[in-house]
Amino acid sequence: MKGTLRYLAGIAGPNGFGSRSTAEQVTQHRFFPCSHLTAIITGGTSGIGAETARVLAKRGVRVVMAVRDMKKAEMVKERIIRENPEADIMLFEIDLSSLSSVARFCSQFLSQDLPLNILINNAGVFSPNLEFSEEKIELTFATNFLGHYLLTEMLIEKMIDTAEKSGIEGRIINLSSVIHSWVKPDCFSFPKLLHPISRYNGTRAYAQSKLATILHAKALSKQLKDRNANVTINAVHPGIVKTGIIRAHKGLFTDSLFLIASKLLKSISQVGVNTICLPFCLNSTIMA
């Protein structure tokens, strides 16, 4: 109980950091061969993704932003370069709800013959109404899980090869959510996820997509271990912050909840700690 109160109050722990520490603060004195690293991050045009891209670039990582809105991405890139003129930022277009778009992005990236040390599957959507992707798959599941699943599968050999040649452990980070625990076992079946036939619930669809993300991390972690690959994968709940996805949950209940909990919510820079630190730490575990 005492530890929980210290955490909520933002009091620093033994490592000198607390829940109010920012990603920039935590990575400031990390000694890691950042100048030799290349990272792909999806959904880097706002929120946690934009902050992750900014701090990675500031620490010398080449950042490949895989984005749907290239105009917004150019604006984020300009802001990062204004702060850090030496930043190495590359922009590629991708629509994670479209499997053909994901395949096209992977082909374009692999043609650059760049190393790949870090893959951050950050992008996500919350669709309050039932929508479908171009492949006729429920949009939230298609974007949050299937797109990232295909992206990871198509890039995993490049990551394994990069880790083997560089001697630096590769890192895959799947952004999940604590609400994955809301999913009832009897509701979690792939046919229902791909093509919902009962009354659609946006929050349930989002929770299911995040549970699938965690299960993917667990399964791939075992496969990588069996291959003795020098690559790890983590599923991480970034924390609660009022990002674009949260704002999509409009309504009196949600607004009231955030008003009450406002003192406990983290800023974007604070939430970014959970994503940005994994590529810098020496040991990592699956966090579900």
**What is the CB-side half-sphere exposure of residue 121 using CA atoms within 13 A?**
33
Radius of gyration of the chain (CA): 19
Question: 224 exposed, middle or buried (CB, 10 Å; 0-12, 13-18, 19+)?
Answer: buried
How far apart CA 11 and CA 19 sit, in angstroms, is 7
Quick one: residue 57, left, alpha or beta (phi over 0 = left, psi -120 to 50 = alpha)? alpha
Q: Is-contact 270 22, C-beta < 8 A?
A: yes
Residue 200 annotated in active site: yes
Those residues with Cβ within 8 angstroms of residue 48's Cβ, 6 or more apart along the chain or in another chain:
122, 175, 238, 241, 243, 268, 271, 272, 275
E strands, the chain, are 38-42, 62-67, 89-93, 118-121, 170-175, 231-236
Q: Is-contact 150 103, C-beta < 8 A?
A: yes
Those residues with Cβ within 8 angstroms of residue 174's Cβ, 6 or more apart along the chain or in another chain:
121, 148, 213, 214, 216, 217, 233, 234, 235, 236
Q: How big is the CA angle at 130 (ends 126 and 131), to the nearest 5 degrees?
A: 80
Q: Which of 7, 149, 200, 206 is catalytic?
A: 200
Catalytic sites, residue numbers: 200
